[in-house]
């Protein structure tokens, strides 16, 4: 059974695109992604993640679905290359992190 991130007090504290906090002007159509997870749960570890890309208008431009992986540093861009750098915002689904 997988316990949801919300139930364990897990949250995404920070998302970076190519080492940067801002999403505009990161200079590549396929920025690598990194995130920091905060958890008060003893022994918690990431076992999966889900990435959602949103356009400037807030509309979903892409979703990865659940990816079984403990990686969270410089993860390859999972979508088609951006037509112009900085055209999307990204978010991670807290509920898809668990362990």
Tell me the two tokens of residue 53: 């890309």
Q: Which residue has the higher pLDDT, 22 or 92?
A: 22
In DSSP terms, 89 is beta-bridged to 54
Q: How much is the average pLDDT of 16-43?
A: 79
Q: Which residue has the higher pLDDT, 43 or 89?
A: 43
Q: Which residue has the higher pLDDT, 35 or 99?
A: 35
pLDDT digits (tens, 9 = 90+) for 46-87: 999 999 888 778 888 889 999 999 999 999 999 988 776 445
Residue 4 is predicted with a pLDDT of: 52
Domains of the chain with bracketed CATH: 5-96 (2.60.40.10)
Dihedral over Cα of 21, 61, 84, 73: its sign: positive
C-alpha closest to that of 77 among 15, 4, 18: 18
């Amino acid at each position: 059974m997988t316990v949801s991130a919300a139930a364990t007090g897990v949250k995404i504290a920070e998302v970076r695109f190519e080492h940067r906090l801002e999403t505009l002007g990161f200079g590549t159509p396929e920025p690598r992604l990194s995130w920091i997870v905060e958890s008060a749960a003893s022994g918690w570890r990431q076992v999966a993640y889900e990435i959602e890309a949103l356009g400037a208008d807030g509309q979903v431009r892409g979703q990865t679905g659940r990816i079984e992986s403990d990686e969270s540093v410089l993860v390859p861009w999972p979508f088609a290359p951006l037509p112009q750098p900085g055209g999307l915002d990204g978010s991670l689904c807290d509920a898809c992190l668990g362990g």
